Amino acid sequence: MPPDPLVALRGGLVVSCQAYPGEAMRDPRTMTQVALAAVRGGAVGIRVQGVADVEHVTHAFAELGITVPVTGLWKDGTEGVFITPTLRHAVAIAHAGATIVAIDGTRRPRPDGLSLTETVAGLREHTSALVMADCGSLDDALAALDAGVDVVGTTLSGYTGERPRTDGPDLELLAQLVEHVDLPVIAEGRVHSPAQARAALDAGAWAVVVGTAITHPTSITGWFVDALTA
């Protein structure tokens, strides 16, 4: 059986609460409020970006007695390997309070020259956090399994060149991971409706992460505006 925090996520919705550089909502207090609203709505997990947001959300949860596991990541840059790209970033996110640290789980060279295996080993040496590999293909996820991660996600499908950027979630990749990777598989990326979330669970996802469609008002507004102006 997987570790307890992963058991807590099973069959549920994880809400990713992220604002991008320069946006009005990019503030740890705002993201904490969004996270609290998501928990009130039934989210079984929260995903947040950056040391300050992880600290703020985990402190608020502790004060309020909320035990929902927090997955943390640190985005550094926008090109190539940018999701928790190095061991330094990963350790900082774990020390900020994340129960699960999401890291780039692709086979691309990492900026600090460490392999994924070395990164996972380093994280285990310095912290007790679980490790989620954000993958872009089946080969990524198989390599991540070998590297010793605890859970894999389809997070980077459509963003690394190995898979097409589907309109909705990459259910085909999800099914491949569920069949071939003996770890919990999290569906993440472009889940834009409750029906798509349900389809991901039905395809074998351990849990479903939704970000933009719940927590990014600028994108959601744009979808409506596009519909009105088409």
User: What residues line the site for ligand LRY (CB under 6 A)?
Assistant: 16, 18, 73, 83, 155-156, 159, 188-191, 209-213
Residue 65, both tokens: 């007695």
> Whose Cβ is closer to ligand LRY: residue 121's or residue 185's?
185
Largest CA distance in the chain: 54
Q: How far apart are CA 122 and CA 110, in angstroms?
A: 14
Shortest approach of ligand LRY to residue 50 CB, angstroms? 11
Residue 85 or 189: which CB sits closer to ligand LRY?
Answer: 189
- H or E segment and range at residue 70: strand 70-73
Q: What is the DSSP letter of 83?
A: B
Tell me which residue of 141, 98, 103, 106 sits closest to 121, measured CA to CA.
Answer: 103
Structure tokens at 76: 């550094």
Cβ proximity to ligand LRY, 176 vs 196, nearer residue: 196
Residue nearest ligand LRY by beta-carbon distance: 211
**Smallest separation, CB 2 to ligand LRY (Å):** 21
Residue placing its CB nearer to ligand LRY in the complex, 138 or 210: 210
Find the shortest distance in angstroms from Cβ 216 to ligand LRY: 7
